[in-house]
Chain A
Amino acid sequence: MERPITIWRVSISHTDFVRTIVIASLTLSSILITTIALAKNAGAIYPQLFYFPILYATYFYPKRGIILAGLCGVVYECLVYFSLFPDMLALWGSTGQAILFICVALAVAYFTNLLRVSEARYRSIFENSLLGIILFDKNQFMIRLANHQIAAMLGYSVEEISQRTFSDLFFTHELRRRFFEHLGSGEEIRNFETCFTTKNGEPHWVNLSWSRIDDTIVSCSITDINAEKLARELAADSSTQYQQVTESSPTGMVITDHTKILFANPAFSLFSGYGPEECINRDITDIVTDEDKDRFLKFAHRWNIPSPVPDRSEFRFVTKRGEIRRAVLYFTPIIRNNRPACLVNIVDNTEWEEYRERVEQTRERRREMMRAVAHELRTPLQPVLGYLNLLLQDPQSFGVTEETRQILDRCAKSVDRERQIINQMLELSVLEGEETSLDYSVFSVGGMVNAVIAGGGYALKAEIAIDIPQDLLFEADRQKLSYVIDVLVANGVSYSKPPKKIWITYRGSPSHPFHRLAVQDNGIGITEAQLDAIFKPEEEGSPHPSGQALGGSGLSLAIAKKYVQLHGGYISVDSIVNIGSTFTIHIPKKRPDTVDHHET
């Protein structure tokens, strides 16, 4: 940029300043030469001298050029008038010259203006075009001119791109070679698609059109098609992917207009038994079993509402071969050809259902067998237990000696223990079959705990500290909860070292939805690895065979856990090895609904 110079409140640029001096000196020297020539009467070349400042001034400053022409005319007229008066011919000649000055000035101003307007027009086209424009040399490929658009498109500044050659811009040699081939043909080319490289070396797709301006310069306009090209590639890519996914999907997929099938994938053909062509235009409702039709129609009805939501449901279908298959339908609203359509995924779970049924049957058979076995074990135990009881009740009348009585007593204890194990096994199998209901009643917790302690004689085996509010009432199955407390206390007693101590504490708060009853011991504790195992009856090798005091079986804790779960609660365990364990029973204060108090 030129720096303006301020002279007497008028700021003019350097160029203007120099031009003004040149024009002024030309004007002055014209006047001077004319004056001298007229004074010495030296021929008629002098008027032409005035054309230099006039042409010069008018070219650069059209309006001021005309004024200067007028001034020159006046000065020239005056000079001629003073030196040649009263030669009328000379006076007419000089007036003609003065008028000619102005005419020339007007003509120059007019044409200069025309030139400027057209130049400005082309400049604005070049600079403001949405297309990138490059003028380059046909022989060396030097970039002569590049506009802002092409520079920005490729991440350069206009100066940077102007220093490169046009052939540098191509992304690969192959693309460059193809361009040269077309350029060499000498024709004007439109829409030549190629890929340029950006300043960062990334590909950028463009569309070239070029034409020759003259023998050496080629004008090339460049359209940015990168985004479009990428979108096209992506679309082509995702369309291929979509096809691959639907073709290879193991789940059935159909696109429907409501329930009429517009498209079905091979997996659906396999599922339904109908060929791909047979599926088209078939109504899905046709292959739903009669039993499920009404339900299906209700389900499909929801696809038709404005802005439907994804949905799923299970139905049975009849295949072409007449088999019944079970499948879950997943409905998703989609747009297909600008119209709402339904994408329905059909997940065949016939095998899964059959498998689930088989597993359930196996479990049921196992429970049945366990019951039958237990039943068969219990019945013959009755005479053994009964006769032992009889002998021990009145040993003298049967002639039993003291020594024999002791042996019989051991037998009776053993039989009793076996009886308890069998009973627990059966109880657990009944609990697992979810056939147990609770007998709810409202009772005093303190009373219940005291009864358990007294019944088990635990106060003789350990120091028992009970901290339960006197008036605290539970609504629960008293008998089952008593069993739970019994198991936990017996467990604590069994796994404590003297001096044995058991704390039974109520830890509820009015705001908490659960009653919490903690049974804490100062026993050997349970390692973290054992924690998971203690409630599982099958953990035979558990080093913490709970409930040994109750008959040596690991079943009692499992039963206790089930009882608490029936109440909608759970048992938590905190334990530190060699410090002690705390079993906490969590029972909801509010009795769960009678409908679902079977299992939580």
Chain B
Amino acid sequence: MKRKIVVIEDDQPILDLMGILLQKLGYEPVLIANGLDALTSVRADPPALILLDIMMSPLSGWEFLERLRTEYNQREIPVILFTASPTVPEKMKKLNDPKVGILQKPVTFDELRAAIAQFLE
């Protein structure tokens, strides 16, 4: 049984790419382009890991993470912040959440594999 990874990303080319790469890595990707839809999906069927873009609307990555952790009480699902913004690493440090990792866009295939492996192996 393949482990499910939810990718939340509003940039379609990247979303498509992640689908292909994750499949290649042996996971079952669930591609969602909108944070609000993602919340519903994650609650209904919690994945093994979430790849989360930060700069999205209407729900930003930070807001998604906040609601996931508190409102939906999903504290154990690892979340990898998948972002192009340079200030995210510092903000992430302040969260002090061991189940949150970071991948700075653009990532190579190997970096993606290593980042996921950090939480799932």
Contacts and interface: CB of A to CB of B under 8 A. Distances in A.
A414 interface: no
B76 to A, nearest CB: 24
Contacts of A383: 13-14, 16-17
Contact of A382 (B87, B93, B106): B106
A390 B84 contact: no
A577 B86 CA distance: 38
A426 B86 CA distance: 6
B107 A382 contact: yes
Interface residues of B, number: 23
Given A382-B105, A436-B90, A390 B14 contact: no
Nearest to B93: A437
B93 A386 contact: no
B43 to A, nearest CB: 28
B86 A427 contact: yes
Interface in A387-433: 387, 389-390, 393-394, 415-416, 419, 423, 426-427, 429-430
B104 interface: yes
Nearest to A428: B86
A415 B108 CA distance: 10
A103 interface: no
Contacts of B55: 375
Nearest to A394: B24
A385 interface: yes
Contact of A378 (B16, B20, B84): B84
Contacts of B66: none
Nearest to A380: B13
A381 B106 contact: yes
Nearest to A418: B106
A104 to B, nearest CB: 127
B17 A374 contact: no
Contacts of A439: 93
Contacts, number: 74
Given A429-B86, A436-B90, A437-B90, A378 B24 contact: no
Interface string B44-55: 000000000001
B24 A393 contact: yes
Contacts of A386: 14, 17-18, 21, 106-107, 109
B85 interface: yes
B14 A379 contact: yes
A483 to B, nearest CB: 14
Given A381-B106, A382-B107, A385-B107, A435 B87 contact: yes
A384 B106 contact: yes
B11 interface: yes
A393 B109 contact: yes
A478 interface: no
A357 B24 CA distance: 52
A371 interface: yes
Pick the most buried of B13, B105, B106, B108: most chain A CB atoms within 10 A of its CB: B106
B95 to A, nearest CB: 13
Interface string A451-492: 000000000000000000000000000000000000000000
Interface centre among A386, A415, A429 (most CB of B within 10 A): A386
Contact of A430 (B13, B17, B86, B93): B86
B83 to A, nearest CB: 9
A379 B84 contact: yes
A375 B83 CA distance: 9
Interface in B16-61: 16-18, 20-21, 24, 55
A378 B106 contact: yes
Contacts of A381: 105-106
Interface residues of A, number: 30
Given A378-B84, A430-B86, A430-B90, A385 B24 contact: no
A375 B109 contact: no
B7 to A, nearest CB: 12
Nearest to A379: B84
B108 A416 contact: yes
Contact of A375 (B85, B108, B110): B85
A375 B84 CA distance: 5
A520 to B, nearest CB: 33
Contacts of A426: 86
Contacts of B13: 380, 382-383
Contacts of A419: 106
A584 B87 CA distance: 30
B104 A382 contact: no
A356 B9 CA distance: 40
A437 B18 CA distance: 31
Interface in B85-121: 85-87, 90, 93, 104-110
A57 to B, nearest CB: 122
Interface string A333-348: 0000000000000000
Given A382-B17, A390-B20, A390-B24, A371 B87 contact: yes
A136 B98 CA distance: 112
B39 to A, nearest CB: 23
Contacts of A429: 86
B55 to A, nearest CB: 7
Contacts of A380: 13
Contacts of A430: 86-87, 90
A253 to B, nearest CB: 48
Contacts of B86: 371, 374-375, 426-427, 429-430
3 closest A-B pairs (Cβ-Cβ)?
A426-B86, A389-B109, A378-B84
17 contacts: A371-B85, A371-B86, A374-B84, A375-B85, A375-B86, A379-B14, A380-B13, A382-B107, A383-B17, A385-B107, A386-B14, A386-B107, A389-B21, A389-B108, A390-B21, A393-B24, A435-B90
Interface of B: 11, 13-14, 16-18, 20-21, 24, 55, 84-87, 90, 93, 104-110
Interface of A: 371, 374-376, 378-387, 389-390, 393-394, 415-416, 419, 423, 426-427, 429-430, 435-437, 439
Given A386-B107, A437-B93, 8 more contacts: A375-B86, A378-B104, A383-B13, A389-B109, A390-B24, A435-B90, A437-B90, A439-B93
